[in-house]
Amino acid sequence: MDKSEQELAIKRILVALDASTHSLAALEAAASLAANLQAELIGLFVEDENLLHLAGLPFAHEFNSSSAVRQPMSSEKMERQLRLQASQARRALQVAADRVEARWSFRTVRGQVTASVLAAALEADLLAMGRVSRPLSRHSRLGSTAREASTRTRRSVLLMQHGRNLNYPVLVTYDGTPAAGQAMETAVKMAQATGDELNVLLLAQTRDAADQLKEDLSARLGQRGLKVQFHWLPQATVDNLAKMVQASENCVLVLGGENPLLQAEAIQELLDRTDCPVMLVR
């Protein structure tokens, strides 16, 4: 990689924590990256002001799943629940960070979840969060905060879900642009950390252009100690890329570049159609 790509560094990883198992998967992945990159973990818990407002309304109730009893809800009770969740999130962060001997910090803020997460992400190099998958509803597979983060933040984003980790072969897109070079460097570091092979998906309109990209990358990656497989995607559509990811069964998808396939609307459609961990490099 050229000098600008080699200088790509992730030193501060923000983890958006909540009560979901998806955010815990993001925490575990972030801790793994922090260990490999000598990065700091920053935990963020947002006390959702919308929930607090709703809990204070006179008709607000909660349903106890264990007793099947409906009980009145209040803003005070919701505040206690949020404080408990924040405490649990902090403890989970501490355990994960201590396990990999990473520096860490934690803070709680009150506000709208999406706006608070995006604002905090500006202070980090990478935002890690759960994608809030809902398998029974294909069109709501990506949660609202994850959806906004995937397109609005200028920071790199790692999207995880429960039951997945980073210990899979890495699949990275490459179109020859500087942005794709940054994604490639990130993918190389991730593949080196796990010892898995690196699969490069060449985004080129012609076979000659794909062969040129492969030749350039082969020379650059030759000294990185990785097993590299190249694949050409002649028709760069979301449908074709989604099929490629699904055919891989288990992979970590790293996206970056200037191809129209990697722009906001296409990325969101791709995220809705795939379940693997996704790193959006910016």
Residue predicted with more confidence, 176 or 76: 176
pLDDT at 125 over 70: yes
Pairing, β 40-48 against β 12-17: parallel
**CA nearest 186: which of 197, 170, 164?**
170
**Which of 79-83, 235-239, 248-252, 256-260 is most confident?**
79-83
Residue 38's region, left for phi above 0, alpha for psi from -120 to 50, else beta, is: left
Task: Please tell me the predicted confidence (pLDDT) of residue 62.
Answer: 62
* Mean pLDDT over the full length of the chain: 87
Quick one: how far is CA 188 from the chain centroid? Answer: 17
pLDDT at 25 over 80: yes
**CA nearest 107: which of 32, 277, 124, 9?**
124
Residue 239's region, left for phi above 0, alpha for psi from -120 to 50, else beta, is: alpha
Please report the domains of the chain, with CATH numbers, ordered by start residue: 8-66+80-160 (3.40.50.620), 170-280 (3.40.50.620)
**Which of 90-94, 138-142, 257-261 is most confident?**
90-94
Task: Please tell me the predicted confidence (pLDDT) of residue 58.
Answer: 62
pLDDT at 7 over 80: no
